[in-house]
């Protein structure tokens, strides 16, 4: 087989991989938010699990648009429409900025409710750190993805990490009994989505891409760290100020 044929085969496999990962993330999000957002009229019994404020309709619409773009963008590359992919990418950058603003406001709005976060027994001031770190990591990975847009291998992985970081909220709403195990189980299920990226790197590169290695470690280490920090006096004082 010629060098050009091998390169085309690898490129085709890579495009299929990223399309497949984006579809898997879309399925995970739909499973989590079908009852409380996407198909809410058909699940009236799940209204107690949905945020009551209309603001979260905007919140959900923006975040679902990001997931839709996650599927669209690698699909455009797969059909050789890189020109359209680049144009849509600037819309994605603006969308990411809007998501950060809306995400922070949504987290504070939930923390200010008398009942706190929906379905979360933890005190609102303590739990507030969890979504705020999610938003901070999303901004970090998305910002780097924009900065490295001319480096396809880094760019693709950074976009995936930004999206995987958002999966925790969806997975927490999966209708599975094992989620009764709480945050450790939810974070573990989130981290399993990193496994295909790690395996593909090892198979195709014989080593982890730096984005996979350091970005994946940052995501994993942040999970127990935020749970620990959320109970510290320093964070609780800061959270009380933010909520107040």
The pLDDT tens digits for 158-210 are 999 999 999 999 998 888 877 877 888 999 999 999 999 999 999 999 999 99
**pTM (2 decimals)?**
0.90
Angle between helices 183-191 and 216-229 (to 10 degrees): 170
As for how many domains the chain has, the answer is 1
3-state secondary structure (DSSP) of residue 221: helix
List C-alpha distances in Å: 4 to 7, 16, 76, 120: 5, 18, 22, 54
Domain that holds residue 171: 3-243
The pLDDT tens digits for 203-230 are 999 999 999 999 999 999 999 999 999 9
The pLDDT tens digits for 93-109 are 999 999 999 999 999 99
């Amino acid at each position: 087989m010629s060098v050009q044929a091998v390169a085309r085969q690898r490129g085709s496999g890579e495009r299929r991989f990223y399309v497949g990962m984006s579809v898997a993330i879309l399925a995970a999000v739909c499973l989590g938010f079908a009852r409380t957002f996407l198909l809410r009229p058909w699940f009236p019994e799940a209204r107690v699990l949905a945020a009551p404020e209309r603001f979260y309709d905007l919140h959900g619409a923006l975040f679902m648009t990001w997931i839709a773009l996650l599927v669209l963008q690698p699909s455009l590359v797969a059909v050789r429409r890189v020109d359209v992919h680049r144009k849509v990418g600037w819309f994605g950058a603006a969308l990411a900025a809007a998501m950060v603003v809306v995400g922070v406001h949504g987290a504070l709005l939930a923390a200010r409710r008398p009942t706190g976060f929906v379905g979360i027994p933890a005190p609102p001031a303590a739990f507030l750190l969890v979504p705020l770190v999610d938003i901070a990591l999303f901004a970090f990975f998305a910002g780097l993805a924009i900065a490295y847009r001319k480096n396809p291998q880094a760019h693709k992985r950074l976009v995936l990490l930004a999206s995987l970081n958002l999966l925790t909220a969806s997975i927490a709403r999966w209708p599975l009994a094992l989620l009764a195990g709480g945050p450790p189980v939810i974070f573990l299920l989130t981290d399993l989505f990193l496994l295909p990226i790690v395996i593909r790197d090892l198979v195709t590169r014989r080593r982890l891409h730096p984005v996979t290695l350091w970005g994946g470690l940052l995501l994993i280490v942040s999970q127990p760290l935020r749970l620990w920090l959320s109970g510290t006096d320093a964070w609780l004082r800061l959270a009380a100020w933010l909520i107040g």
